[in-house]
Structure 1
Amino acid sequence: MLSGALMLSVGGLTAVPAAADDGPIVTTRYGKVQGKAGEAANSYLGIPYAAPPVGERRWRPPSPPARWSGVRDATEPGNPCMQHPSDTPWGDLTGPGTPSEDCLYLNVYTPARRSLRKRPVMVWIHGGGFTVGSGAFYGGGTLAAKGDVVVVTLNYRLGAFGYFAHPDLTKESPHGTSGNYGLLDQQAALRWVRQNIAAFGGDPGNVTIFGESAGGGSVCHNLISPLSTGLFHRAIAQSGCGFPLPARADQERSGAAWAESLGCADVACLRGKSAEEVLNASTAPNVRWVPNVDGKVLPRQVTEALDRGLFHRVPVLQGTTADEGRLTVASTYDLAGRQLTAEGYPVAVRAVYGDRTDEILARYPLSDYGTPAEALGAVFTDSQFSCSQSQTARLAAKHTRSYQYEFADRNAMDYLNLPISFPIGAPHGSEIRYVFGDVSGTPAQKALSDRMLKYWTNFARTGVPYALGAPRWERFPKVQILAPDAIAPSTTFPQDHKCDLWLGSAS
């Protein structure tokens, strides 16, 4: 694919290179795209859903893309958004291509077989801590073919490019806000879906947003954002809903201090910096590149909005993995060349939880776990994921259909053969390939993946997670435990994860 800077403008349109002759062609409102035909699924990659956010468009809401003449080659993904390489057990989440500010592209996957009916649409929002990742890292062909749905994956601005807030930006904004550009990108992609997805056989009246980690958080941010009204009809948040966000004023203060560290007293100076300069400076300490509660894009915290019913009343499915925190422990210790000892366990707890350490150690004694790493992993799992997601599921259940799960394949990452001294279990992110249908493990793991894919896609189809031949999934407060040996509801999830310690009476 050619970047926007290399394309030629012809009569207000953009001329693009001719596509290959043997792929399916779809006409969007911006021009024709030619994708790649597959045996089970077709793919249309690197479609622009917004204008490149470069130059004066840096740190501004996304604008519609330019129209083009001819047929656009849609066989390769667009550039990933600006980011540093990411070192994870799954590889570099950047995905294919070279990071660029010109990155607002999406990918569409459709079943190869024709259908007389419009199919449900599932829009994937990738994770990566709001600083890394790309839509093209996740192939949607298997999910589309097996689930008989249209799958969309997308890029959105990351790090300083997506979440920088500054008083100057707030002043120039017609809405009097700044810093949530990555979220605005997601909403622009959803508007593109509403306008164009019917041409790909998708139903614009039945759109599900789903995502994991920062993507799961983004799902819940869209769930409460007034600007996403009417853009989706179901929501699936995997390991990310309900994390507290900073206020806009706090983000503006830290943003102004960060700008001064680059020698810039105003945003005009920052817009004059190269993308590489901004990226390299974005790793400064004491700066969090996350969305902010600005009163407009995000009027309030997710938990408050869910509690008060101030969100889009769509069915919500959300959940976590059984051992979320073990990946953090593995990355901090074993994968960094050291092991957590019994003596280091209380030190590690105190470094994060301070004055609550004694209370936490009493509830998570080493004698209850095989290794200190597993003990610390349990603390992180319960405090940072399981209980907060249980809380948001409970709050949503007051106002809409709410479903919760726990993914519990304790051998989900055995295929990676990680060099660690303790069982990694079912850590953060390990459920994603099960949902996307990309499991090549044991027959039991493949069967679990098939059922999860059907639960997810039938939820997208009807608002109820079901799968033929699989156990019934009941609404919250039941929690569906998803494991290879058995799928069954649990009524003791809050107790199992000691949520009284982390949520108090709210558990």
Structure 2
Amino acid sequence: MFAADQTRRALLLQAGAAGMVAAMPLKAAGPNPVMRAGHLTGVREGTVIAFRGIRYGRAERFAPPSPEPWPENGRGPRQVADRFGPIAPQHGSPTGEAMSEDCLFLNIWTPEIHPKARRPVMVYFHGGAYTSGTVTDPVTQGAQLAAQGDVVVVTVNHRLNAFGYAWLKPLGARFADSGNLGQLDLMLALRWVRERIALFGGDPARIMVFGQSGGGAKIATLMAMPAARGLFHAAATMSGQQVVASGPNNAWKRTGALLAALKLGAGDAEVLRTMPWQRLVEGLGATDPVIGGSLYFGPVLDMTNLPRHPFWPDAAPQGLAVPMILGNVHDETRAFIDPRGPKLAGLNWDNLAARIAPEIKVDLDTAWVTAQYRARYPDWSPERVFYAATTAGRSWPGQVIEADARARAGALSTWVYQLDRPSPLDPLRGAAHTDDLPYVFGTLGAPGAMSGTDATARAVRDAMMQAFTGLARTGRPGLSDWTSYTLPSRATMVFGDAPRMVDDPRRWERELWGTAPYAQPGS
């Protein structure tokens, strides 16, 4: 897809040109001039132009989204795109911002507003599983990545939890697309990018999607959705996998739990559709009838929008031609199982197996697992075994399954990384979930970043950013010595103090946890 397909690119640009005017700077006093692209005005942020809160669609509750009309020739009412749109309804507000069901907004950072610039485009989907999260987090704002990587960065908010993924089809035909509405939002955003991004200096023939945690899972799911075919040309997932989707029967059990929490029955579909969104959010605290904990809502195998599982029994064929980076961090679970919290309090060899058991997604005897680790690594502490086991038995297997599935199918354009560099800000954190984000976005000093800003952090940032922007630009990571992932070598780029290639770096743990099936959370 990165071959010189000039005819296709020309057609895309010609189609987009009908609705756009050449971008031009508006006169403004001071060091922060306002810039205009069509009917939108943004602000200069360092060396790039930022456009925040661009509406890409609208949607009624539990209905597919509709595209937002785009004024032809830039003649629509002038809009100032200088602030983020509201975030999707969820428990709490991760950044203290307003929430609204009307949340279909995207944001753009670009080095240059001109339709002939044709820079690579990197579209980011946020984490938070399918339940929470937002792209307004300072760590994932795109100014540094756009400037240093010389790319156009787009970040997307969309519907989450029950609003985006509750399975309601049994309640009536009007809910036929429920279970995957959040995915339909993302596809609508990608179509918006394809049609409009040239106005902002981007190349509609070089669109890369990347996402961390739930954002990566959303990408893996899109790679099995026929309507997403051709909407992106490269992909990168960061600690986010989706081997299988939720089956409709389990999805319906979850809807039943939501209805019960809201004191509704199957005949109360209209009440569910019209009640205040705040009340619906309260119902999300019900216990999940399949996996326990609070309710999980994620993509559903509905046989229409999603006609197969993303990576079971094999990799979805439509995604095999898409160049793809898959990555994880060495100590995933240190981010969400607090080393200073109650789950680690009083940890010792006597209770280690019992503490590990509820944290893993591979059904193995944890007493046996503990004995294997102790025999293999006799100098490790109970805490180190706990985090190694919970990472390898919970957060890492999905990536191995996906990378191996692509390799078995002959997809040579697959590259795998592992972040090993521990946080210099917290000695107990290690290289934990989300710690690769500030390196890729270049937001080392942002609130919430655990990377530090020292020389090593800057070197890791430069390497990871070069790798990701290279994939967007050419379809290959921008590090020349990063070899593709094949079997049986499983070549992996390890980002530590300096990047290095290692074959199958955690082979022993991979084989240990591969003795039993992995259960995709939520399935």
TM-score w.r.t. length of structure 1:
0.84
Tell me the residue number matched to 1:500: 511
Match of 2:394 among 384, 387, 396: 384
**2:358 matches 1:346:** no
Structure 1 window deviating more from structure 2 (120-129 vs 480-489): it is: 480-489
Tell me the residue number matched to 1:239: 239
Tell me the residue number matched to 2:366: 357
Q: Given that residues 37 and 112 in structure 1 are in contact (C-alpha distance below 8 angstroms), is that contact kept between their aligned partners in structure 2?
A: no
Tell me the residue number matched to 1:135: 135
Instruction: Flag the 1:385–1:207 CA change in 2: closer, same or farther, 3 A.
Output: same
Q: Given that residues 207 and 234 in structure 1 are in contact (C-alpha distance below 8 angstroms), is that contact kept between their aligned partners in structure 2?
A: yes
For 2:515 and 2:442, how far apart are their aligned partners in 1?
38
For 1:305 and 1:25, how far apart are their aligned partners in 2?
48
* Structure 1 unmatched ranges of 5 or more: 1-18, 87-93
Q: Given that residues 390 and 404 in structure 1 are in contact (C-alpha distance below 8 angstroms), is that contact kept between their aligned partners in structure 2?
A: no
SS in 2 for 1:135: coil
**2:305 matches 1:297:** yes
**2:73 matches 1:64:** no
**2:179 matches 1:179:** yes
Q: Given that residues 80 and 155 in structure 1 are in contact (C-alpha distance below 8 angstroms), is that contact kept between their aligned partners in structure 2?
A: yes
- Residues 316-348 of structure 1, C-alpha deviation per residue, up to 9 Å, x if partnerless? 110100111222321xx5245962510331221
Letter matched to residue 430 of structure 1: D
How far apart are residue 370 of structure 1 and its match? Answer: 4.4
SS in 2 for 1:319: strand
How far apart are residue 369 of structure 1 and its match? Answer: 5.8
For 1:493 and 1:23, how far apart are their aligned partners in 2?
49
SS in 2 for 1:259: helix
For 1:224 and 1:122, how far apart are their aligned partners in 2?
20
Tell me the residue number matched to 1:149: 151
**2:283 matches 1:281:** yes
Q: Given that residues 262 and 283 in structure 2 are in contact (C-alpha distance below 8 angstroms), is that contact kept between their aligned partners in structure 1?
A: yes
How far apart are residue 217 of structure 1 and its match? Answer: 0.5
Letter matched to residue 160 of structure 2: L
For 1:492 and 1:281, how far apart are their aligned partners in 2?
44
* Structure 2 unmatched ranges of 5 or more: 1-25, 289-294, 445-451, 519-523
Q: CA RMSD in A?
A: 2.5
Instruction: Flag the 1:375–1:337 CA change in 2: closer, same or farther, 3 A.
Output: closer
For 1:499 and 1:134, how far apart are their aligned partners in 2?
32
How far apart are residue 36 of structure 1 and its match? Answer: 0.7
Letter matched to residue 62 of structure 2: W
**2:484 matches 1:475:** yes
Tell me the residue number matched to 1:6: none
TM-score w.r.t. length of structure 2:
0.82
SS in 1 for 2:311: helix
Letter matched to residue 442 of structure 2: G
Q: Given that residues 35 and 43 in structure 1 are in contact (C-alpha distance below 8 angstroms), is that contact kept between their aligned partners in structure 2?
A: yes
Letter matched to residue 49 of structure 1: Y
Instruction: Flag the 1:170–1:294 CA change in 2: closer, same or farther, 3 A.
Output: farther
How far apart are residue 272 of structure 1 and its match? Answer: 2.2
- Residues 221-269 of structure 1, C-alpha deviation per residue, up to 9 Å, x if partnerless? 1111111011000010111123433212321232134213313233211
Structure 1 window deviating more from structure 2 (301-310 vs 376-385): it is: 301-310
Tell me the residue number matched to 2:52: 45
Tell me the residue number matched to 2:215: 215
For 2:430 and 2:379, how far apart are their aligned partners in 1?
13
SS in 2 for 1:205: strand
Match of 1:425 among 405, 425, 430: 430
- Residues 47-68 of structure 1, C-alpha deviation per residue, up to 9 Å, x if partnerless? 00111x3xxx101111112557
For 2:318 and 2:239, how far apart are their aligned partners in 1?
22
**2:345 matches 1:334:** no
Tell me the residue number matched to 1:82: 89
For 1:82 and 1:476, how far apart are their aligned partners in 2?
39
Q: Given that residues 115 and 202 in structure 2 are in contact (C-alpha distance below 8 angstroms), is that contact kept between their aligned partners in structure 1?
A: no
For 2:281 and 2:198, how far apart are their aligned partners in 1?
37
Q: Which structure has more RCO (C-alpha within 8 Å, separation ≥ 6)?
A: 2
Q: Given that residues 164 and 178 in structure 2 are in contact (C-alpha distance below 8 angstroms), is that contact kept between their aligned partners in structure 1?
A: no
Match of 1:491 among 477, 482, 503: 503
For 1:82 and 1:136, how far apart are their aligned partners in 2?
14
Q: Given that residues 257 and 286 in structure 2 are in contact (C-alpha distance below 8 angstroms), is that contact kept between their aligned partners in structure 1?
A: no
Letter matched to residue 402 of structure 1: T
Tell me the residue number matched to 1:256: 256
Q: Given that residues 81 and 99 in structure 1 are in contact (C-alpha distance below 8 angstroms), is that contact kept between their aligned partners in structure 2?
A: yes
For 2:415 and 2:517, how far apart are their aligned partners in 1?
18
SS in 2 for 1:252: helix
Instruction: Flag the 1:170–1:434 CA change in 2: closer, same or farther, 3 A.
Output: farther
Identity of paired residues, percent?
29
For 1:35 and 1:306, how far apart are their aligned partners in 2?
44
For 1:198 and 1:336, how far apart are their aligned partners in 2?
51
For 2:187 and 2:155, how far apart are their aligned partners in 1?
13
Tell me the residue number matched to 1:449: 461
Match of 2:476 among 464, 474, 493: 464
Q: Given that residues 323 and 414 in structure 2 are in contact (C-alpha distance below 8 angstroms), is that contact kept between their aligned partners in structure 1?
A: yes
Question: How many matched pairs?
Answer: 459
Q: Given that residues 64 and 177 in structure 2 are in contact (C-alpha distance below 8 angstroms), is that contact kept between their aligned partners in structure 1?
A: no
Q: Given that residues 165 and 255 in structure 1 are in contact (C-alpha distance below 8 angstroms), is that contact kept between their aligned partners in structure 2?
A: yes
**2:120 matches 1:117:** no
**2:168 matches 1:166:** yes
Instruction: Flag the 1:188–1:171 CA change in 2: closer, same or farther, 3 A.
Output: same
**2:446 matches 1:435:** no
Q: Given that residues 243 and 401 in structure 2 are in contact (C-alpha distance below 8 angstroms), is that contact kept between their aligned partners in structure 1?
A: no
Letter matched to residue 390 of structure 2: F
Instruction: Flag the 1:340–1:171 CA change in 2: closer, same or farther, 3 A.
Output: farther
Instruction: Flag the 1:169–1:230 CA change in 2: closer, same or farther, 3 A.
Output: farther
Tell me the residue number matched to 2:291: none
Letter matched to residue 189 of structure 1: A
